[in-house]
Amino acid sequence: MTDVTVLNLGKTPTRTVLKLSWPAIVEQFLISMASIIDTAMVGSLGPNATAAVAINTSTIWLLEGFSTALSAGFMYVISHALGEQNTYNAKRAVRQSITSALILGITITILVELISPYLCIWLGGEEEIYQSARSYLSIIGFGMVFKSLTIVLSSVLRAAGNTKTPLRINIAANLINILGNFLLIYSTRQIVLGKMSFTVWGAGFAVSGAAMSTAFSQFVSGMLLLIALYRVNTPIKLKIKGDYRLSKKLISKVISISIPVAMERITLCCGQIVLTRIISSVGTIALAVHQLVNQCESIMYLPAYGFAASGTTLIGQSIGAKDMKKADKFAKILFIVNIIFIACLCLPIFIFARQIMSFFTPSAETIALGNIALKITAATEVLFSLTVVMGGICRGSGDVKFPLLLSLGGMWIIRLLPAYIFANILGFGVIGIETAIGIDVSIRGIICILRLKSGKWKPKHC
């Protein structure tokens, strides 16, 4: 029987981890760079434009988290089926993942359109950002169906060991997003290159233009990933004909993984929404600083999400193949390699924090506060990244309650109360909030190290 797993992709387990992870890491990097360029383009319009995007960000993450949770469930089922060499069950799960992603995406779109007129008010946004914030969220909502497809189908392909196709498709989508920003955010203007000067058309839609570009790029990525399932040669390559109806037995298995993952994301994102409310009470500058630091942070932890995706695939296929020694080895390698990668990224960002912040905004106050906040984030990012990698390992092994409990305790006990006290009672503002976040992620990272060493993440029957 032909081996359909990726457990022996490299000559050694370390090479297997790196071969499987590098496309996902590059993909995350490109997504983050596109997001950073997007933020810089919006940021050039001023702090109010940045804040209009920032006040929606936590809610968008929350809603996208449901698609992430769904993808985790299907990734678990598909990786285990392939570990057992059962391609029939794997393909059956893939077809149902398409149906599930479409149903979920449509539901999220409807919900976004219902809440878009009110979210900025609920979160305490200042009057000057209301119209831009409302328009941004409403437009983003129309791309949610395709965002759901993008998240779920990317994970489905990764579960089969194909990390290069999502990379290529996301490169195309990101380029479209950047070009769309260039044309839709700004008005028609003169561009000067050396001695040459020429007119470039622009729609001048400002924040709304950024949302339009993002929504269209999501449409492109979702459709291309759907096509890839039928065209790219993988163990889960589909034919158009087939049964796409949801099976109670299979969906129950998916849900058993997805619900704790969804609860984890809800815990984190609701906490982020409360945190956004705390930050917005400090002022628009604080909200802009937090948004810019988040964008920079996305570069620092991006390898962790690549390793986490590989962890789910490798651990899931190892357990499916009933090879716990290999699963244990992969888990330890993922932690070690992740620490090296993240540390190498964080050091230069810590050193050049001020220069990095000045890239995003001309506001001297935003740069000064962002410099301190970004240094705090860079100093604690290695420990935060371990929680991301551990989450991928746990999703592969089915140990999905641990990340939930960790997120619940970290966000609602360690982060939010100190953030409120530091920002509003002690008067430290946004710096106090970033300090509270740093304390939270550091404690969680240490707990993840202890969890890995204990071996309690492994299935009980193994």
- Averaged pLDDT score across all residues of the chain: 89
DSSP 402-419: HHHHHHHHIIIIIIHHHH
Which of the two residues, 238 and 361, has the higher pLDDT score? 238
1 domain residue, yes or no: no
Domain count, the chain: 1
State the chain's maximal CA–CA distance in angstroms: 72
Helix ranges (H only) for 352-363 are: 353-360
- Asked if residues 47 and 288 have their Cβ atoms less than 8 Å apart, the reply is yes
**Given a cut of 70, is residue 262 above it in pLDDT?**
yes
- What was the pLDDT predicted at 40? 77
Measured distance CA(236)–CA(372) in Å, rounded: 48
- pLDDT exceeds cutoff 90 at 226: yes
- Kind and range of the H or E run holding 341: helix 324-351
Long-range Cβ contacts of 343-351 (<8 Å, 24+ apart): 343/382, 345/299, 345/300, 345/302, 345/303, 345/381, 346/300, 346/378, 346/379, 346/381, 346/382, 347/378, 349/296, 349/299, 349/300, 349/374, 349/378, 350/374, 350/375, 350/378, 350/379
Domain contains 417? yes
Confidence of residue 3 (pLDDT cuts 50, 70, 90): low
Per-residue pLDDT reduced to its tens digit, 326-353: 999 999 999 999 999 999 989 999 999 9
Would the pLDDT of 182 be above 80? yes
* Residues above pLDDT 90, as percent of the chain: 54
CA distances from 250 to 79, 199, 253, 266, 320 (A): 14, 56, 5, 24, 16
pTM of the full structure:
0.80
259 found inside a domain? yes
Distance CA(34)–CA(403), nearest Å, equals: 28
Domain that holds residue 270: 13-454
User: How far does CA 409 lie from the centroid of its chain?
Assistant: 21
Does residue 112 have a pLDDT over 90? yes
Question: Which whole number is the average pLDDT over 185-194?
Answer: 83
Residue 1 has pLDDT above 50, yes or no: no
Q: Convert the pLDDT of each residue in 395-452 to its tens digit.
A: 999 898 999 999 999 998 889 989 999 988 888 888 999 899 999 999 999 999 999 9
Residue with tokens 């630091």: 293
The answer for residues whose C-beta is within 8 angstroms of residue 226's C-beta and 6 or more apart is 98, 149, 153
Counting residues of the chain whose pLDDT is more than 70, the rounded percentage is 98
| Helix or strand holding residue 193 (H, E) | strand 187-193
What length is written for the chain? 462
Q: Are 326 and 7 in contact (CB under 8 A)?
A: yes
pLDDT exceeds 90 at position 24: no
User: What is the model's pLDDT at position 451?
Assistant: 95
Does residue 434 lie in a domain region?
Answer: yes
Residue 7 belongs to a domain: no
Task: Say if 4 falls within a structural domain.
Answer: no
Tokens matching residue 362: 């001309």
| Span between the terminal Cα atoms of the chain, in Å | 24
HSE, CB side, 13 Å, CA atoms: give it for residue 49.
22
Q: What SS3 state is found at 197?
A: strand
CB 443 within 8 A of CB 414: yes
Q: Which two tokens stand for residue 276?
A: 């956004």
How many angstroms separate the CA atoms of 380 and 438, rounded?
Answer: 6
